[in-house]
Chains A and B, each alone.
Chain A
Amino acid sequence: MIAAPSFLERLDNLSDRLSPIVVKEVRQMVRGREFNYSFGLSLITGLTVAFFGAAGTWTGYRSGAWTVGWQIGCLTVLGLIVIPLATMGALRSEKSERTFDLITLTTLSPRRIVIGKLTAQGVKLVTLFAGAAPFIATGFLLGGIDFVTIIVSLTGLFLLSLWACAACLFLSCLSTSRAVSGVIYAAVGLVFLFLIGPGGGILRLWMFGGPGFYAYGPPGMGLTGLSLTGSPGGGWWMFAIIASFCLMTIVNLVLLSENRLTLPTENRVTALRIGFFLQFLLIVAWVVLAVYLIPGPTPASSGIDGLGVVAGLQLAAVAVFTVTEDLLLSRRMVLQSKSSRLRWLMPVLGPGGAAGAIYVLVQMALLLGIGQAIAPSEMRWLTAICGYICFFTGVPVLAARVLAPRLQAKQVRVAALLFFPVVMLLADLVGYLASPGGFNFEYSRRHVLNPFRTLANWPVASQFHWDEFALAIGAIGFIVYLALIRMGWRANQEERNVPAVD
Chain B
Amino acid sequence: MNSAMLEIQGLVRQFGDVRAVDNVSFSVARGEVLGFIGPNGAGKTTTMRILATLDLPQSGDARIGGFSVVDRPAEVRRITGFMPDYAGVYERTTVHEYLDFFARSHGLKGNERRAAVENIIDFMGIGELRNRQVHSLSKGLQQRVALGRAIVHNPQLLILDEPAANLDPRARIEFRTLIRELAADGKTVLLSSHILTELSEICDTVAIIEKGRILAKGTVADILTGVRRQRLLSLRVASRNNEAERFLLEQPGILKVFEANGSLHFEFDGDDDAQVVLISRLVNAGFPLLEFSARTAGLEDVFMKVTEGKVQ
Enumerate chain A interface residues (CB-CB to B < 8 A).
Answer: 9, 12-13, 16, 20, 23-24, 27-28, 31-32, 97-99, 101-108, 263, 265, 330-332, 335, 501
Contacts and interface: CB of A to CB of B under 8 A. Distances in A.
B53 A105 contact: yes
B38 interface: no
A97 B89 CA distance: 8
Given A16-B109, A23-B104, A106-B77, A101 B84 contact: yes
Nearest to A32: B92
Given A31-B92, A105-B82, A107-B106, A23 B101 contact: yes
B114 A27 contact: no
B71 A335 contact: yes
A28 B77 contact: no
Given A23-B101, A24-B101, A98-B86, 17 more contacts: A9-B114, A12-B114, A16-B104, A16-B110, A24-B93, A27-B92, A27-B93, A101-B54, A101-B84, A102-B88, A104-B54, A105-B82, A106-B107, A107-B77, A107-B106, A108-B105, A332-B73
A331 B106 contact: no
Nearest to A103: B105
Contacts of B105: 20, 103, 106-108
Contacts of A335: 70-71
B106 A99 contact: no
Interface in B47-63: 52-56
A458 B120 CA distance: 72
A28 B91 contact: yes
Given A16-B104, A20-B104, A107 B74 contact: yes
Nearest to B93: A28
A481 to B, nearest CB: 29
A28 B101 CA distance: 12
Given A97-B88, A501-B71, A105 B107 contact: no
A28 B78 contact: no
B104 A99 contact: no
A99 B92 CA distance: 14
B72 interface: yes
Contacts of B104: 16, 20, 23
A105 B101 contact: no
B161 to A, nearest CB: 11
B229 to A, nearest CB: 44
B102 interface: yes
Given A20-B104, A23-B104, A99 B72 contact: no
Contacts of B97: 24, 27
Contacts of A98: 84, 86, 88
Interface in B66-118: 70-74, 77-78, 80, 82, 84, 86, 88-93, 97, 101-102, 104-107, 109-110, 113-114
B149 interface: yes
Contacts of A9: 114
A20 B56 CA distance: 27
A99 B146 CA distance: 11
Interface residues of B, number: 35
Interface of B: 52-56, 70-74, 77-78, 80, 82, 84, 86, 88-93, 97, 101-102, 104-107, 109-110, 113-114, 149, 153
Contacts of B72: 501
A28 B92 contact: yes
16 contacts: A20-B101, A20-B104, A23-B101, A27-B97, A28-B92, A97-B89, A97-B90, A99-B89, A101-B54, A101-B84, A102-B82, A102-B88, A104-B54, A106-B106, A263-B54, A335-B70
Given A27-B97, A102-B149, A108-B105, A263 B88 contact: no
B182 to A, nearest CB: 18
B176 to A, nearest CB: 23
Contacts of A108: 105
Contacts of B113: 16
A411 to B, nearest CB: 14
A12 B117 CA distance: 14
Contact of A331 (B70, B82, B102, B153): B70
Contacts of A102: 82, 84, 88, 102, 149
Contacts of B102: 102, 106
A28 B56 contact: no
Mostly, the A contact residues are helix
Given A16-B113, A106-B105, A28 B90 contact: yes
Contact of B77 (A16, A97, A105): A105
A28 B71 CA distance: 36
A24 B90 contact: yes
A24 B55 CA distance: 26
B149 to A, nearest CB: 7
A265 B53 contact: no
A25 B229 CA distance: 60
B218 to A, nearest CB: 29
Nearest to B76: A105
A20 B103 CA distance: 9
Contact of A332 (B71, B78, B89, B90): B71
Contact of B54 (A16, A97, A105): A105
**Which among B88, B90, B105 has the highest number of chain A CB atoms within 10 Å?**
B105
Contacts of A104: 54
Contacts of A330: 56
Contacts of A99: 88-90
Contacts of A31: 92
Nearest to A499: B71
Contacts of B54: 101, 104-105, 263
Contacts of A103: 105
A24 B72 CA distance: 28
Nearest to B106: A106
A112 to B, nearest CB: 9
**Which among A32, A101, A103, A106 has the highest number of chain B CB atoms within 10 Å?**
A106
B92 A107 contact: no
Nearest to B113: A16
Nearest to B91: A28
A15 to B, nearest CB: 8
Contacts of A107: 74, 77-78, 105-107
A332 to B, nearest CB: 6
A432 B84 CA distance: 62
Contacts of A13: 109-110
Contact of B88 (A23, A101, A501): A101
A132 B251 CA distance: 93
Nearest to A31: B92
Contacts of A27: 92-93, 97
A332 B70 contact: yes
A98 B90 CA distance: 10
Contacts of A97: 88-90
Nearest to A16: B109
Contacts of B106: 106-107
Contacts of B109: 13, 16
